[in-house]
Structure 1
Amino acid sequence: IAIKDLQERNGYSEELARQIVTGGGVKIYTTMEPAVQKALDATFQKQELFTADYSRVVNMPELPEAGMAVINNKTGAIAGMQGGYGDKQSNLVINRATDIQRQPGSVTKPINVYAPAMEMYKVTGATILEDKKVFLDPGNPEEPYPKNAYYPEYRGRMTLRNALKISNNVPAAEVMLMIGVDSSKYFMQKVGIDRTDDSASISMAMGGYETGMCPLEIASAFTVFPTGGLYTPHYAYTKVVDSLGNVLLENRPSYEQVYRPGVAYMMTKVMEETLEGRTSNFPYEGSAAGYGMLKNGVGEIIATSGKTGTTDEDVDKWFCAFTPYYTGAVWYGFDNRIKKQSVIGPDNEGAKRIWFDAMRVIHTDKPAAGWTQPADIVELKICIQSGKLASYSCGSGNVVSEYFEKNSPLTPQSVCPLHGGRPITPFGSAKSLPVVTEPTTSTTGSTAPSQSTTNPLSPDGAGTDPNQGPPQPPQPEIPPDSGGTPPPETMPSTGP
């Protein structure tokens, strides 16, 4: 990373930059945390994490590989990374945490669809979306697109929370159409993933991009959630000093308010569902069910939220999740240097196995921790059938907690129309702040005001300076053609 920075910031040639860094006499003050790196090194030595049944892959042209990056949420610094299974055989080999460009699949849904839509006052966790047959591929209008990677293929009406829980594709595409592709690209750029020149369109809702991504990019982008909507670009060192003491490079993190703190919190709570089994009458488990939240060495819970990702034909497996302390992303699959190979059988869990093995060790000595709920967030009981305030007539299996901004026009004020009755959450419980209007849009360019701040995170890494109110939300303008679709070949069908 320092070599690349010397080229980009100081204008050095690659040869000169490499000579400076590797030739001796240069001090690099790394952000690597020894305990984090030690945990990653140990995890990437465990063959059983890379293949649950070695006999299934021993005759394959390649063995499964992985890359993982972990970022300290409080500072935005890279705490550790690992680029492949086993011992490092030589210098300058591929680092799968930073050097790959693989399709991300559904792992990007929180950062390119759902959080942007929440920021734009389009949806909440209770918004009802419908998983049904749709035809969104203009190149093949007779063929349903997008599809889902499970059976039954379409599962009807569901809340946004449950759509993300099972990584449903049709609702994600529906929300992408609500916000427009340019707005999606805008918010992705705000968290360090610039795909403004990518010609893919609706396929982005399912993680179908022309240019793939690496674990470091994904992990860095997801830090916007545990930090109360603040983003700072990741960095691997604080400074680079030459033999004479001259500072060649220096990183001073700057923070930008990408999402309102309430949006970051709501999205974080929705992503907890990924790790859950059945929690209501909704008959499906989360795409990472069975893993649950992390616990420290004495069994205390450390809040955990995340998202899985799978690409077409099970070629790539992703898992990105975060705690109040760290955010980590894992890619798992084959290098495909000889031929394209799919991840099969129990190894579909590879990315999740690796993430949890490393992160359990990393959090062993951490105190129990949860998410800091912003003052403008209210918890309401809603009915999963309607997305409205639940009544005692809805039945306990249909009643769940959901989180809303008090000042949002989308916060439900009426009782469930399907069941009627007396609401469990009293009327007016979310009316303590005045209702705001939805951000305006226009049919011209795609620029949005920058919301920058130099305030660091609060000591617990949970949000912004409490003495400063949250900035107004960005208001990206949506051109009329932003909901278009690319040619079929750029539109893979992805799964959880």
Structure 2
Amino acid sequence: MSSSKGKSGRLVADRRYPRKAGKSAAKPAQGRKTKTRRKPAQRQRRGGILGFFGAILRWILRLVWRVTLSATVVVALILGSAVLYVYSGLPELSEVTDGRARGSVTLLDRDGKVFALRGDQFGGAVTADTVSEHLKNAVVATEDRRFYWHFGVSPRGVASAIRINLREGRGPLSGHGGSTITQQTAKLLCLGVQYDPDEWESEADYVADCRRGSLSRKAQEAIYAIAMEAKYTKDEILSIYLNRAYMGGGAYGAEAAAQRYFAKPAAALNPAEAAMLAGLLTAPSTLAPTSNLQRSQDRAATVLRLMYDQGYLGEEDMRHYQENPAVLAQGARNLGGGYFADWIMSSDMDYLIGDTTEDVIIETTLDQRIQRATASAVDKIFTEKVREGSKAQVAVIVMSADGAVRGMVGGRDTDATGLFNRATQAVRQTGSAFKPFVYATALELGYSPLDTVVDEPYCLNIPGSGQWCPENYSRRHYGRVSLAEALEKSLNIPAVKVSETVGRDLVLRVARDFGIYRELADTPALALGASEATLLEMTGAYAGILNGGSSVRPYGQQLIRYKGASDPLIEASGGMGERVIREEAAQQLVWMMRRVVAQGTGGRAALPDRQVAGKTGTSQEARDAWFVGFTADYVAGVWMGYDDNTPLTGVTGSGLPAEIWHEVMLRVHDGLPVSPLPMMEPVPPKVPEPEPQPVPRQPQRRDSILEQVLRDILGGN
């Protein structure tokens, strides 16, 4: 009994767990013993068929877990190896700041002021520490709010983007990409692939491949981004991004964009300007303030709200800058250059900037005052006098007598860039605007503007074509007229007669020497402008008449040099050339062309305060209408027509082209001193007085040299 008492006294469980009423101390112990020591046979019997399937399920789950764990380890090893491989090839920070494939071109006007930018602009390297804090915050708030917390890829951002894409009815990878700033930077670096012209058909193909959004490309992009996070600090990644991102208007990088739009460094941007630049990153070409300022300001207002939501800006500041948005600097508003800049850039510039990031400066002949005057005149005439819905186009060129182009409009969109330039590219029939070269040939051979020719029905047999009978535009004949009168009235028959008399080959030579260098029609219709030329060629040829008879090669480049260098690469590419006709002949021709405006077909081009000389032109079936003329200071040419050669309705060279010319030159000469034209009025031939006779008789009329030659050729009276 005593031993039994000793055993019960050592039961610790009874002391640790108080007994409950109505239960003995032994029962809980037995219950615990039963629960903890059940035999496997008993579990199987209790589970039955459910127990069997449960065991199978647990086995499958254990297998899945082991396979998943193993796969995760393998994937992690592969991913780690890929990241390590990419990491080893990442360049140093200084090597990846300038992301341009080619250098910039800055075009200066005749006064040395910037009027256009071409190529890829780069204002210099900046860092996240040197740019405005507002720009740094705006970019992070807009592009990647978790930039400072993720490891290069944001699974949360990707999931959110996929959800938005699916909700909007697109594919999971179409539209929103969920890319972090690091991934965007990886894309800007093209995952380290450099452009090789031997491998890619064009630079555009290379860029398109860099921007691909396939699943495999996204995976490569993620690996590259993770490697970048290991190689660079967050601010270094942001610095690369701020230097390489395209921000519209030809500007690559924050510094170039700040200078391009606001004429200030990136370090001095206020919140409104910073928000505008950050807003461009989504769609730089569409949202550029030079393209659509209002659209750019609306986007900036959204960026300011994001900055407020994320604590980068107070509510009062947000509202202030939304109500006072950023605007373009005065210089940025004046940039464009349009057709003139495109013409300069088409002049074999690729060999200078094609394979280098060197920045080029081009000093040009453009006069921005004349350019604005030309554009405003075209806008005025088309607004007031061209019927609504008309697709008729226009081209205008203003140049000096030496061929220096001062203004150019190549279409109704007067300051467009990258469009078809009708001033330099459209090759059209010249019509009667060609006739001055016929009379220039005659004057050079010694004929006088007062020599006469008979305007009468006239036919020629053309080998292979049969009989050809030219007619005047008015369908009338004026009898005996002087050469001056024939040009003044733009008579066709006298022009053909003179051309055939002096020699068509000589007319061809004079026209070519003056700058109409295309293939000219060696037929009698040459005199009527059956051949084709560009407006640039015609205006340059008329400049040769104004300057005293010397040929002219129109030019726009004064000098080309590398930025920061003083020695030129190329100097002026045009100007005056060899003499074509005598100065006396040129001055007599100017006198004849002065009559065209003073009392002939070009009356609408007349200016109120100074002398004007010129010539109208209307091609076959009125497909082209011209007026080309000059004052003592400038030469200007105007062409009108349809791009598809549709005939004009109610428009001839004496109409709208002459009116456009008048409006252009009225503005161009505003404030300029009046100078006379360099012309020479011909001296009438002296007729000897008859000796006194008992019976007065009429003096004999002296036939002109031209008429004598024509009588010999045609056998007429």
TM-score (norm 2): 0.46
Query: CA-to-partner distance for each residue in 1:117-152, whole Å, 9 max, x for gaps?
Result: 11012x211111111111124258875521111142
Query: CA-to-partner distance for each residue in 1:180-203, whole Å, 9 max, x for gaps?
Result: 2221121112112214x4443211
TM-superposed deviation, 1:422: 13
Query: CA-to-partner distance for each residue in 1:50-90, whole Å, 9 max, x for gaps?
Result: 772525xx3xxx611110111112x421111111113545x
> Alpha carbons of 1:351 and 1:24: their partners in 2 closer, same or farther (altered >3 Å)?
farther
TM-superposed deviation, 1:348: 6.4
- 555, 562, 566: which is aligned to 1:242? 562
Counterpart for residue 311 of structure 1 = 619
Q: Which whole-Å CA distance do the structure 1 matches of 2:383 and 2:534 have between them?
A: 18
TM-superposed deviation, 1:20: 7.3
Q: Which whole-Å CA distance do the structure 2 matches of 1:16 and 1:255 have between them?
A: 26
1:214 aligns with 2:487: no
1:6 aligns with 2:348: yes
Q: Which whole-Å CA distance do the structure 1 matches of 2:393 and 2:614 have between them?
A: 21
1:127 aligns with 2:448: no
> Alpha carbons of 1:44 and 1:191: their partners in 2 closer, same or farther (altered >3 Å)?
same
Q: Which whole-Å CA distance do the structure 2 matches of 1:346 and 1:187 have between them?
A: 26
SS in 1 for 2:603: coil
Pairs within 5 Å for 1:179-190: 179-190=502-513
Counterpart for residue 257 of structure 1 = 579
Conservation of the 8 A alpha-carbon contact between 1:315 and 1:343: no
Counterpart for residue 440 of structure 2 = 115
TM-superposed deviation, 1:219: 0.9
Counterpart for residue 472 of structure 1 = none
1:83 aligns with 2:410: yes
Quick one: which amino acid aligns to residue 592 of structure 2?
A: V
Q: Which whole-Å CA distance do the structure 2 matches of 1:260 and 1:347 have between them?
A: 28
Counterpart for residue 102 of structure 1 = 428
- 646, 664, 667: which is aligned to 1:358? 664
Q: Which whole-Å CA distance do the structure 1 matches of 2:351 and 2:577 have between them?
A: 31
Query: CA-to-partner distance for each residue in 1:342-401, whole Å, 9 max, x for gaps?
Result: 23268961111111101001011111111345xxx6xxxxxxxxxxxxxxxxxxxxxxxx
Query: CA-to-partner distance for each residue in 1:152-180, whole Å, 9 max, x for gaps?
Result: 2x221111111001100111111111222
Counterpart for residue 418 of structure 2 = 92
Conservation of the 8 A alpha-carbon contact between 1:44 and 1:84: no
SS in 1 for 2:569: strand
Q: Which whole-Å CA distance do the structure 2 matches of 1:2 and 1:291 have between them?
A: 29
TM-superposed deviation, 1:259: 1.8
- 522, 546, 552: which is aligned to 1:232? 552
SS in 2 for 1:129: strand
Conservation of the 8 A alpha-carbon contact between 1:137 and 1:143: yes
Conservation of the 8 A alpha-carbon contact between 2:550 and 2:581: yes
Query: CA-to-partner distance for each residue in 1:285-337, whole Å, 9 max, x for gaps?
Result: x1122543x24xxxxx322100000011111100001011000011011111x
Q: Please identify runs of 4+ aligned residues in structure 1 that moved more than 6 A.
A: none
Q: Which whole-Å CA distance do the structure 2 matches of 1:127 and 1:20 have between them?
A: 61
Q: Which whole-Å CA distance do the structure 2 matches of 1:20 and 1:76 have between them?
A: 32
Q: Which whole-Å CA distance do the structure 1 matches of 2:530 and 2:516 have between them?
A: 14
TM-superposed deviation, 1:114: 0.3
- 471, 495, 500: which is aligned to 1:172? 495
Q: Which whole-Å CA distance do the structure 2 matches of 1:331 and 1:226 have between them?
A: 20
- 414, 421, 429: which is aligned to 2:687? 414
Quick one: which amino acid aligns to residue 561 of structure 2?
A: V
Aligned length: 353
> Alpha carbons of 1:276 and 1:303: their partners in 2 closer, same or farther (altered >3 Å)?
closer
> Which has the higher Rg, Structure 1 or Structure 2?
2
> Alpha carbons of 1:140 and 1:231: their partners in 2 closer, same or farther (altered >3 Å)?
closer
Counterpart for residue 403 of structure 1 = 682
1:289 aligns with 2:603: yes
Q: Which whole-Å CA distance do the structure 2 matches of 1:20 and 1:254 have between them?
A: 33
- 458, 461, 485: which is aligned to 1:162? 485
Counterpart for residue 332 of structure 1 = 640
Percent identical residues: 25
Conservation of the 8 A alpha-carbon contact between 2:520 and 2:526: no
> Alpha carbons of 1:173 and 1:255: their partners in 2 closer, same or farther (altered >3 Å)?
same
Q: Which whole-Å CA distance do the structure 2 matches of 1:257 and 1:351 have between them?
A: 30
Quick one: which amino acid aligns to residue 164 of structure 1?
A: L
TM-superposed deviation, 1:414: 2.0
1:138 aligns with 2:439: no
Gaps (5+ residues) in structure 1? 8-14, 278-285, 296-300, 378-401, 405-410, 424-436, 439-496
TM-superposed deviation, 1:272: 1.1
Counterpart for residue 34 of structure 2 = none
> Alpha carbons of 1:185 and 1:421: their partners in 2 closer, same or farther (altered >3 Å)?
closer
Counterpart for residue 474 of structure 2 = 150
Counterpart for residue 45 of structure 1 = 379
SS in 1 for 2:406: strand
Query: CA-to-partner distance for each residue in 1:181-228, whole Å, 9 max, x for gaps?
Result: 221121112112214x4443211100001xx21211111101122212
Counterpart for residue 63 of structure 1 = 391
> Alpha carbons of 1:357 and 1:141: their partners in 2 closer, same or farther (altered >3 Å)?
same
Quick one: which amino acid aligns to residue 515 of structure 2?
A: G
Quick one: which amino acid aligns to residue 207 of structure 1?
A: G
Q: Which whole-Å CA distance do the structure 1 matches of 2:398 and 2:386 have between them?
A: 27
Q: Which whole-Å CA distance do the structure 2 matches of 1:205 and 1:347 have between them?
A: 17
Q: Which whole-Å CA distance do the structure 1 matches of 2:457 and 2:700 have between them?
A: 35
Counterpart for residue 370 of structure 1 = 676
Counterpart for residue 269 of structure 1 = 591
> Alpha carbons of 1:206 and 1:146: their partners in 2 closer, same or farther (altered >3 Å)?
same
Pairs within 5 Å for 1:463-478: none
Quick one: which amino acid aligns to residue 624 of structure 2?
A: D
SS in 2 for 1:79: strand
SS in 2 for 1:307: strand
Conservation of the 8 A alpha-carbon contact between 1:70 and 1:81: yes
Conservation of the 8 A alpha-carbon contact between 1:30 and 1:238: yes
Quick one: which amino acid aligns to residue 247 of structure 1?
A: P
Q: Which whole-Å CA distance do the structure 2 matches of 1:340 and 1:257 have between them?
A: 38
TM-superposed deviation, 1:95: 1.0
Gaps (5+ residues) in structure 2? 1-342, 691-696, 707-717
Counterpart for residue 445 of structure 1 = none
> Alpha carbons of 1:38 and 1:229: their partners in 2 closer, same or farther (altered >3 Å)?
same
Counterpart for residue 78 of structure 2 = none
Two-structure CA RMSD over aligned residues (Å):
3.1
Conservation of the 8 A alpha-carbon contact between 1:135 and 1:142: no
TM-score (norm 1): 0.65
